[in-house]
Amino acid sequence: MGIKRHKPEEIVAKLRQVDVLTAQGKSIADAVKTIAVTEATYFRWRAEYGGLKSGQVKRLKDLELENARLRRAASDLTLDKLILTEAAWGHF
């Protein structure tokens, strides 16, 4: 059986569903079983996506991807600069 990857929008919807079920009097354990994830997954999701709305989650993921891309670009440029500096001084 493969691992199911949930999209951020689905995660927010499931977190809201658990909130509704707990407001209706169900325990967190029963509500988590209803959305078919483990309690550990639920608490991890709640820590990451707790107060976000669907649009905000998509924006957060886009910003995280952009940040990772920019970090890679900066590290590549730093490495290039070091190589050029060493070559200019004749330390190759």
Instruction: Give the domain range for residue 39.
Output: 1-52
Q: Is residue 19 one of the residues assigned to a domain?
A: yes
- Structure confidence at residue 92 (pLDDT): 55
> Same domain, yes or no, for 10 and 43?
yes
Return per-residue pLDDT of the chain as tens, 92 residues: 567 788 888 898 999 999 999 999 999 999 999 999 999 999 999 998 887 777 788 888 889 899 999 999 999 999 889 888 888 887 65
- Structure confidence at residue 2 (pLDDT): 67
Q: Is residue 26 one of the residues assigned to a domain?
A: yes
**Backbone φ and ψ of 19, nearest 5°:** -60, -40
> Same domain, yes or no, for 22 and 4?
yes
